[in-house]
Structure 1
Amino acid sequence: MTSASRDQTQLTVRILGRDYQVACPEGEREALLASAEYLSRRMTTVQKKGKTLGMERIAVMTALNMARDLLDMEQRRKRAPVDDEASDRLSQLQLRIESALDEKG
């Protein structure tokens, strides 16, 4: 038995009503179960929206939707530093304006 296989256990996850045996690294059981539950919910949503889609098509459509969501999050994260910088500058300008108004008043 290799060290890699000793650090993993077999776990059964249920996705869209089907059981799958997957290798799970030690300490990641809860994260894997949560991921499987999330995937199953997303696949169920795709299944309900489609007519009679096969399991493979449901999986592909779900993967595409999740990839789009991931890319959207990455784009927002890339813009976040700019947004934070702009927010800081606006706060500084607001303080200057308030200070100037206090001096006049």
Structure 2
Amino acid sequence: MSEIKQLDVTIMGREFRVACPPAEEAALLEAVNYLDAKMRELRDSGNVMGIDKIAIMAALNITHEFMNTRVAGGLDMADFKRRIGRMQQTIDESLKEQQQLF
């Protein structure tokens, strides 16, 4: 059975607790830093207001970057689209929970 570690991360000054296998901790922290930088970049541009909109625009920008990256050996776009859909659903559910806190 694989061990799952609980990590506290900060994105745009907000704290989140996420579950992660220890072997993937470094990659998760790198992803957190990348997302935080993208969200701050959008906020600082002044073109996007509100944390929800900033998060959605950052997700769209990162997804666009990802989908335009070519991977040697081919890329199963259908599988990645399904995964992105599941991630988006998880994000939406998390945002609903966060809104209830305020």
Whether TM exceeds 0.5 here: the answer is: yes
Shift of 1:52: 6.2
Instruction: Give the conservation status (yes or no) of the 8 Å contact 2:43–2:49.
Output: yes
Runs (4+) of structure 1 exceeding 6 A deviation are: none
Instruction: Give the conservation status (yes or no) of the 8 Å contact 2:39–2:54.
Output: yes
Q: Equivalent residue of 2:68, what SS?
A: helix
CA 1:42–1:12 in 2, change beyond 3 Å: closer, same or farther? same
Name the residue aligned to 2:42.
Answer: 46
Name the residue aligned to 2:63.
Answer: 67
Bigger Rg over Cα: 1
In structure 2, what residue type is equivalent to 1:50?
G
Q: Equivalent residue of 1:56, what SS?
A: helix
Distance 1:31 1:52 in 2: 28
The total of aligned residue pairs comes to 74
Shift of 1:38: 0.7
Distance 2:19 2:59 in 1: 20
Q: Equivalent residue of 1:27, what SS?
A: helix
Q: Equivalent residue of 1:53, what SS?
A: coil
Name the residue aligned to 2:9.
Answer: 13
* TM-score, length basis structure 1: 0.61
Identical counterparts, % of pairs? 34
In structure 1, what residue type is equivalent to 2:37?
R
* TM-score, length basis structure 2: 0.63
Q: Does 1:27 align with 2:23?
A: yes
Flag the structure with higher helix content.
1
In structure 2, what residue type is equivalent to 1:28?
E
Shift of 1:29: 1.1
RMSD, aligned CA: 2.2
**Unaligned 5+ runs, structure 2:** 74-102
